[in-house]
Chains A and B, each alone.
Chain A
């Protein structure tokens, strides 16, 4: 069985500050992990994914995430927040032979203050 927990349903940062969105997973098989972003009234867009290669993954828009097996974590970071980063962020997990079935966390809404 697989599950994802995102700590903090809402995170607020100032423009230019570090963004840290937390994701912890549980998986009985080697996990593949994803971060998606959803802007208001839009579909989901992939930010980055971990597929068992490099543990530090770089994505679009300056985001990156580090897979830490010992901590079962895949936290998303960005050194400097932009106003345009305000959105809902979803962490998701799947595994081999899962048919690509994504199990999502409950989402974290990121607000960016000027």
Chain B
């Protein structure tokens, strides 16, 4: 009964292709995130959505576009993939049920990650 799930787990593709990574959470959380972990294991936030609304957008290339069809899903679409996009991408969601508001102190629950390799 996975709380935060991501598909696919591994993604190998050629430079220039377009790909998507999907994330779903069944925790009833309002807020979801995408993080990127590079080859040196450094983690950096990319985006955050609260109830389908974009609230955090770090300095990420326009080729990356998050989409939230509903509050349980946050997908990441990447256009024109480059070698430097190779990384592990983690989805996370933050506790705080709808109507109660999410607090900065609430725990973020992470998915298992998607390892993207661009050849």
- CA–CA, A36 and B102, complex, Å: 19
- CA–CA, A25 and B107, complex, Å: 19
- List of A residues within 8 angstroms of B94 by Cβ: 100
Contact at B43–A104, with CB atoms within 8 Å?
Answer: yes
Would A43 and B113 be within 8 Å (CB), given that A101-B56, A104-B43 are in contact? yes
- Interface size on A, as a range, is 20 to 34
Contact at A94–B104, with CB atoms within 8 Å?
Answer: yes
Q: How many residues of B contact A (CB 8 A)?
A: 29
- List of B residues within 8 angstroms of A46 by Cβ: 107-109
Of B4, B43, B108, the contact of A100 (CB 8 Å cutoff)? B108
Contact flags A40-52 to B (C-beta < 8 A → 1, else 0):
0111111001011
- List of A residues within 8 angstroms of B35 by Cβ: 102
B25 within 8 A of A: no
- List of A residues within 8 angstroms of B4 by Cβ: 43
Contact at B104–A96, with CB atoms within 8 Å?
Answer: yes
A84 within 8 A of B: no
- List of B residues within 8 angstroms of A95 by Cβ: 104
B residues contacting A by CB (< 8 A) are 4, 31, 33, 35, 40-45, 48, 50, 55-56, 90, 92, 94, 102-113
A residues contacting B by CB (< 8 A) are 32, 36, 38, 41-46, 49, 51-52, 88, 90, 94-104, 106-107
